[in-house]
Amino acid sequence: MALEIERKFLVLDTSFKHEAFSSSHIRQGYICSGHGRTVRIRIRDTRAYITIKGPSLNGGLSRYEFEQEIPLADAEDLMLLCEPGIIDKTRWLVTSGRHTFEVDEFHGDNDGLVIAEVELGSEDEAFQKPAFIGQEVTGDRRYYNSHLRRNPYCLWK
């Protein structure tokens, strides 16, 4: 069983763009989401994936995750079956110490929201925070992509 362990943070400024070694465009939809479980379709540039995630454990720090690459044409078809609300974002990759932070700059109804995540090998693994990292939001469901689909950032104000 694959266990995803990650911490999530708000981003303070756009300095991450100058530090990034890569970026990609992501569109993702949810075939189903509820009770902490999701089945997601993701198109990242020209590659596509189906992901199944289980409910969060330990205050949102870890959860079961299964991901499989699928043909792009299949993903485009499956996106038509998704629940309303597609997540649209640019993902920037930034190295900090031994870790890579994934910084998601959201577009569309979530424009203005920028979140950074770091995946860890264990729940107590130490990591070096880049200067652009702000408040930790690990476990705050408002910042889950599946929640942003239903309750976008533009409605928070």
Catalytic residue annotation: 30
d(CA 135, CA 7) in angstroms, rounded, equals: 11
Which secondary-structure segment (H or E) carries 28? strand 22-34
Instruction: Kindly give the residue spans of alpha helices, DSSP state H, lying in the chain.
Output: 16-19, 72-79, 145-150
Q: What are phi and psi of 143, to 5 degrees?
A: -95, 5
CA angle 135, 141, 146 (to 5 degrees): 120
Give the three-class secondary structure for 102.
strand
Q: If 0-12 CB within 10 Å is exposed, 13-18 middle and 19+ buried, where does residue 54 land? A: middle
Q: Are strands 87-96 and 22-34 parallel, antiparallel or unpaired?
A: antiparallel
